[in-house]
Each structure stands twice: as structure tokens, then as C-alpha cells.
């Protein structure tokens, strides 16, 4: 009896304490939401920026207005995204980048995905009972990439790191309102917040101000003082180098060294030592991205340039070359037959992506075949009059084998994912811990015609570095633990990440820079936007705002790699008009809301025939266009 009375008293005390804790909004700020609101077409005579939040767009424009070029503006916008959309596009996460130099008329890709640490082997992961890389464990962290990307871009620019970082530092210190997309990403229920606080206490401090019991509210003032201090410390390292007589280049090198070889690296390594992680000093000190030749393919008068095979930058040209020569216009925009045709091209390309595409430093990728018109014609011949149902087989390429993983489909792949997880991870997984909805985007075209497009990403699902505001993400989750897969985990290898950026030429001249968040939806959304323009004659804003669809037949690029054969997701206004017709073609249509954020959030800048610029911003998120 006394035990029962004591337990009841403790429960009552905890209940009273909980009720006495603050639960309401945190310092509300005024903000006019953009997500779910129509966008007007935007035109600019000289320069333009489009980015995932209005503050990032403003940061990019600030650089352009003060004499910076596209590279300077891209770094400023990227850092502002890392602050104002940091739950989806973290500093220092991945940042796949494409660059167009107007003087040379050349396009380059920058390798914006980090590498697996040297201690990361398939055997080490499987020995712990894991069949996939866990999403919520420090072992899912990839060596950071974006600081390297930023310094390489600034070397093509005119601004200092301190100048480019100033808008982001200001936003992180003074605060910004929690916008609709951040709110949706961080709108965790009580059980999720509890799991968040147990598993990731410093993350809880950063995003929930340490008050796990208190949910975020829309338009709360969000400040990130630790991240502001980190960025300021990097800027101060640059300033010291310059004051010591160093050049602009040596100042930028000092910023890079401060991150990969200096105080920040030390803090990252302390975290990994405390949490029994995999990072070693040589992983950080030896990290390097680099400029590379982009992958290319064509559709009629258009040439697509994308990031290398460490991303899915090959997808747009593969899909479009399969569709080339098909009279899509006669089918009618977003008719059931049109959707069926595009979905089949997507599924054929994804089958090949999963069978053959991976980090080319480790994998012999048959790019010449995959991007040839002859191979596209052969894949086109595999199209059928009804849904594939189960995924089509990848094409057979002489001299290349296909792993069993590439052909394995179905939701059963993830059924045992809770087995063996620590209690906190199991709580978080079981409660559908979902913080961080993929990625953001930005594109810049400056007055000289230079263009940069970046697709930054990473989520706070693994331990952030205490005292720094740094979110290292969980991008190793996109590796496979099948040694025969082209995306197999290996020390020093890059996973085939979903984020990628695209630059398009028309008749040999720069035409468009565009990108989007969305995981496996990314190439599907970008293909649809492009076809809306090239086939159906829409302007860029109408092309972006039009209703979308996407296939979920291929295994997800994120572990546990679930797939839903025959399923096609449709935004509400499209579902209401074509669902029955798609069912008649053997599909299982799934309905989502209009302008659903899971359908991507495309940002694009187009060079019009008269030389002016048109910028499109997706109403599905906070994406914002601006310029002069």
C-alpha cells in the first residue's frame, strides 16, 4: 500500500511539474507564409536568385548588390539556408553544385557529397546486426562536404568568407520565424519529442531550446547562437590570416583549415570518441571535393548537365532520352496516358540507376551506354501499354553484372529494422521520428551571365556536435550493405546521394539552372517541369505550379529501401481527374493534398530569348525568387 501511495505521489508531482512548465509559443514573429500560396511570374533584367527561403534569396541578392558574383551569392544564400532551413539543409552537410562560366561557356560540376570514414566497412556494420545503415546513429554520419564546396566557390568569387557569412550570422543571432515547412518538419508529437530528447539531447537544445515537452509553434522566433558563433569563428580565422599579411586565397584556406584541421575538427572528433563513432583525424584532414566534368545527355535542342554518379544527376538525361521521339503533346498534359508514359520512363531509368550507378572512383559505371541514344531506344522498346507492376528489370549491358539488391523490391525490406536497436532509437523509430524533410535548393544568375545551382541537404537525425550548432546529418543511410551493389558502402567512398543540381542548354547556349528537394522525387519533379515548358509551352512559373505525380515503384534510396510496386502518387487536383483512368491501366493511385511538399519544391532561373531572366519559385514550400 505504501509503495502505491509513493508511486501515486511521484506521478502527481511529475504531473504538476509538467503542467507548470511553459508550453506556449516562443517569442512570436510576424511573417507572411509563402508555402501553399500562388506565385506570380518573376522577371529580371540583369540578375536573379531563387532559394528555399526568402532570407536565403535576400542574402544572395545582398552579395550581388554589393559587387559579388554568382559564386559569392550562392555561398551567402547557402549559409542562410543552413540557418533558416537548417532542419533540412544543414551546415556542414552535402551541397551538390553546378557552375556555368559565362566567359568560357563551360559547365562544371562540383563534388558536393562527403566520403565514408576509413573505418566504415560493410563487415563492421553487419557485425552489429544491421542490414542497412541506421538512420538515427552516429555511424550514419558522412564526412562533411559543404565547407569545402563554399571555399571552392569563393575562390571563383570576389567576396571574403566573412562577407558571405554575415547575413547568415545575423539571422542566426537575431532569429527568424519558424516558417510553415520548418514547422511541419519539426512538428513532433509528445512521444517523438521524448525520443528526440533521449537520443539527441543537444539537437533538442538547438531546435527546441532544450524544452522537449514544448512543441514548436508556427512563427516562433528561432535563434541558433552556437551556429552563429561557429561561422563567426571561421570568419575570424580568415581575418587573422589576412591581417597577418596573407592573400585572399590564404584567408580562404585558413577558413577551410579551421574546419577540417583545426578547432572544429577537434570538436567533431571529441563527439565521435565519446559516442564511439567512426571518424578519425585523417578523415577530416584529408577530405577533398573537386571540380569534375558533368554528366550530359540531350532531348531535342536541349542538353542537360548534371552532377556525377555519386549523385542521381544521370537521371534526367536517362529519363528524357527514353521519352525522346514519343509524341507526348498529343496525349494531353497530365492525361492518364501521359502520366503512364512518363512513369514508365522513370521506372526504367531508376532500374538502371540502381543496377549500375555509384561513385565512379570505386565503380565502373557504363555511362557511355546508359546515356547513348541507342540504349535509350532499347529501353523505350520495353515500355508496355499497362503498368509494369513490379519494377522492370535493368537493361543488360555486356561486361556488367546486376546485383540482387538492384532487383529487390517491396516494403518487406524494412520489416526488421527495429531489431537490435538501442531503446532510445527504437522509441524514436517506432514513433515515426521524422524530423528533417529532405533538402532545399538555390540558383543564382549574375549580371555577367554566370550561374550557380546547389541542392543542399542533411537532417538532424544523428548527434549534432555539442556547442557548435553543426548538424552532420545521416547521409550514409543512402549506402547499401550489399557488397555487389554499385552503391555498396566502402571506406572513402561517396554514397549515391539523391540531391543533385542541373544546368540546361538550348541550342548550345545557357538556358536554365534548376533544382529541387524531394529524394527520389527530385528527377521526377524536374523532368515534369521541363516537359511542361518544352512540350506544352508553359512559362517557368506555370510549369512549376502545375500539379505533379510521382512513382514509388523503385526501392527508396533511403534505407530501409522500401518500394510500392504499381503505386503512383498524385496531387489532389490531378488525382480527382485521372485516378480512375490510371486504375484502368493497372496502377494504384494514391492521393495527396494540392501543392504537397513531398512533390518537390523546384526553383529555376531561365534565360529568355530576349536575354532577360525568368525565375520560378515553387508554391509547395517557402521557395522565393528575387532579382533586378
Give the strand pairing for 567-571 and 588-592: parallel
- Residue 413: per-residue pLDDT: 38
Residue 505, domain CATH: 3.60.20.40
Candidates 304, 318, 320; CA nearest to 510 is 304
Shared domain check, 215 and 121: yes
- Residue 412: per-residue pLDDT: 37
- Cα–Cα distance measured from residue 54 to residue 83, given in angstroms and rounded to the nearest whole number: 12
- Residue 119: per-residue pLDDT: 98
Shared domain check, 612 and 548: yes
- Cα–Cα distance measured from residue 42 to residue 543, given in angstroms and rounded to the nearest whole number: 13
Shared domain check, 185 and 89: yes
| Structural domain of 326 | 293-407+499-627
Lowest-confidence range among 125-129, 130-134, 185-189?
185-189
In a domain, 354, yes or no: yes
Residues 6+ apart with CB under 8 A from 542: 41, 532
Residues 6+ apart with CB under 8 A from 143: 114, 115, 116, 117, 279, 283, 284, 287
pLDDT, one tens digit per residue, over 430-444 is 334 444 357 999 999
Q: What is the DSSP letter of 497?
A: B
Shared domain check, 369 and 461: no
Give the strand pairing for 295-299 and 451-454: unpaired
Shared domain check, 532 and 389: yes
More confidently predicted of 420 and 517: 517
Shared domain check, 299 and 274: no
Shared domain check, 240 and 136: yes
Question: Does the structure show a pLDDT above 80 at 320?
Answer: yes
Question: Does the structure show a pLDDT above 90 at 20?
Answer: no
Question: Does the structure show a pLDDT above 80 at 292?
Answer: yes
Element (H, E) at 561: none
In a domain, 279, yes or no: yes
Shared domain check, 55 and 116: yes
If you search the block for the grid coordinates 556542414, which residue do you land on?
92
Shared domain check, 82 and 204: yes
- Residue 129: per-residue pLDDT: 96
- Cα–Cα distance measured from residue 471 to residue 458, given in angstroms and rounded to the nearest whole number: 8
Contact by Cβ (8 Å): 499, 111: no
pLDDT, one tens digit per residue, over 591-613 is 999 999 999 999 999 999 999 99
In a domain, 421, yes or no: no
Task: Look at the chain and report how many structural domains it folds into.
Answer: 2
- Residue 628: per-residue pLDDT: 96
- Cα–Cα distance measured from residue 513 to residue 515, given in angstroms and rounded to the nearest whole number: 7
10 Å Cβ neighbour count for 414? 18
pLDDT-based confidence at 24, cuts 50/70/90? low
Shared domain check, 552 and 403: yes
Q: Residue 419 CA to chain centroid, in angstroms?
A: 28
Strand pairing partners for 299? 302
- Residue 19: per-residue pLDDT: 52
Shared domain check, 78 and 190: yes
- Cα–Cα distance measured from residue 506 to residue 143, given in angstroms and rounded to the nearest whole number: 36
pLDDT-based confidence at 263, cuts 50/70/90? very high
| pLDDT mean across residues, the chain | 92
Record the cell numbers describing residue 544, joined without a space: 512549376
Amino acid at each position: 500500500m505504501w509503495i502505491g501511495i509513493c508511486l501515486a505521489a511521484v506521478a502527481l508531482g511529475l504531473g504538476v511539474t509538467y503542467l507548470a512548465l511553459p508550453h506556449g509559443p516562443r517569442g512570436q514573429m510576424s511573417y507572411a507564409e509563402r508555402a501553399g500560396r500562388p506565385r506570380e511570374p518573376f522577371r529580371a533584367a540583369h540578375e536573379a536568385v531563387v532559394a528555399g527561403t526568402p532570407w536565403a534569396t535576400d542574402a544572395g541578392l545582398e552579395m550581388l548588390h554589393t559587387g559579388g558574383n554568382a559564386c559569392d551569392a550562392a555561398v551567402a544564400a547557402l549559409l542562410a539556408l543552413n540557418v533558416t532551413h537548417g532542419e533540412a539543409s544543414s551546415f556542414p552537410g552535402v551541397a551538390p553544385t553546378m557552375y556555368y562560366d559565362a566567359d568560357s561557356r563551360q559547365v562544371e560540376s562540383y563534388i558536393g557529397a562527403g566520403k565514408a570514414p576509413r573505418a566504415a566497412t560493410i563487415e563492421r556494420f553487419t557485425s552489429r546486426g544491421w542490414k542497412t545503415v541506421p538512420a538515427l546513429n552516429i555511424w550514419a554520419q558522412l564526412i562533411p562536404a559543404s565547407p569545402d564546396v563554399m571555399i571552392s566557390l569563393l575562390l571563383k568569387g570576389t567576396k571574403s568568407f566573412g562577407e558571405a557569412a554575415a547575413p547568415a550570422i545575423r539571422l542566426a543571432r537575431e532569429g527568424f520565424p519558424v516558417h510553415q515547412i520548418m514547422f511541419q518538419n519539426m512538428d513532433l508529437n509528445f512521444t517523438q519529442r521524448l525520443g528526440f530528447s533521449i537520443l539527441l539531447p543537444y539537437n533538442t537544445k538547438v531546435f527546441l531550446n532544450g524544452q522537449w515537452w514544448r512543441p514548436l509553434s508556427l512563427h516562433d522566433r528561432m535563434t541558433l547562437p552556437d551556429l552563429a558563433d561557429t561561422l563567426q569563428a571561421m570568419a575570424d580565422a580568415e581575418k587573422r590570416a589576412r591581417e597577418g599579411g596573407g592573400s585572399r586565397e590564404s584567408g580562404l584556406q585558413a577558413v577551410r583549415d579551421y574546419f577540417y584541421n583545426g578547432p572544429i575538427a577537434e570538436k567533431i572528433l571529441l563527439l565521435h570518441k565519446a559516442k564511439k563513432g567512426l571518424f578519425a583525424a585523417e578523415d577530416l584532414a584529408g577530405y577533398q571535393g573537386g571540380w569534375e566534368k558533368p554528366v550530359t545527355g540531350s532531348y531535342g535542342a536541349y542538353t542537360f548537365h548534371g552532377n556525377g554518379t555519386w549523385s542521381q544527376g544521370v537521371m534526367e538525361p536517362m529519363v528524357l532520352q527514353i521519352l525522346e521521339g514519343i509524341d507526348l503533346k498529343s496525349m494531353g498534359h497530365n492525361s492518364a496516358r501521359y502520366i503512364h508514359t512518363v512513369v514508365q520512363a522513370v521506372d526504367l531509368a531508376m532500374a538502371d540507376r540502381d543496377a549500375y550507378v555509384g561513385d565512379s572512383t570505386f565503380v565502373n559505371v557504363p555511362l557511355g551506354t546508359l546515356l547513348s541514344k541507342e540504349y535509350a531506344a532499347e529501353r523505350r522498346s520495353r515500355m508496355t501499354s499497362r503498368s509494369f507492376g513490379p519494377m522492370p528489370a535493368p537493361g543488360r549491358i555486356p561486361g556488367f553484372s546486376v546485383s540482387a539488391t538492384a532487383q529487390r523490391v517491396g516494403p518487406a525490406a524494412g520489416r526488421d529494422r527495429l531489431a537490435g536497436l538501442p531503446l532510445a532509437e527504437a522509441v524514436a523509430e517506432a514513433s515515426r521520428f521524422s524530423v528533417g524533410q529532405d533538402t532545399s535548393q538555390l540558383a543564382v544568375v549574375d549580371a555577367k551571365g554566370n550561374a550557380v545551382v546547389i541542392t543542399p541537404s542533411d537532417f538532424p537525425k544523428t548527434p549534432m556536435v555539442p556547442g557548435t550548432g553543426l548538424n552532420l546529418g545521416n547521409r550514409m543511410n543512402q549506402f547499401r550493405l550489399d557488397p555487389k551493389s554499385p552503391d555498396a558502402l566502402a571506406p572513402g567512398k561517396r554514397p549515391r546521394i539523391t540531391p543533385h543540381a542541373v544546368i540546361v542548354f538550348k541550342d548550345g547556349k545557357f538556358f536554365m539552372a534548376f533544382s529541387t528537394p524531394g529524394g527520389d522525387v527530385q528527377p521526377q519533379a524536374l523532368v515534369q517541369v521541363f516537359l511542361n515548358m518544352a512540350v506544352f509551352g508553359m512559362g517557368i512559373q506555370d510549369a512549376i505550379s502545375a500539379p505533379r505525380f510521382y512513382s514509388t515503384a523503385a526501392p527508396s534510396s533511403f534505407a530501409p529501401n522500401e518500394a510500392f510496386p504499381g503505386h503512383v502518387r498524385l496531387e489532389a487536383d490531378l488525382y480527382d481527374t485521372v485516378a480512375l483512368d490510371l486504375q484502368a491501366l493497372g496502377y494504384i493511385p494514391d492521393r495527396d493534398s494540392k501543392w504537397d511538399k513531398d512533390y518537390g519544391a523546384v526553383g529555376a532561373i531561365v534565360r529568355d530569348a530576349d536575354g532577360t531572366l525568368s525565375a520560378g519559385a515553387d508554391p509547395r514550400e517557402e521557395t522565393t525568387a528575387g532579382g533586378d
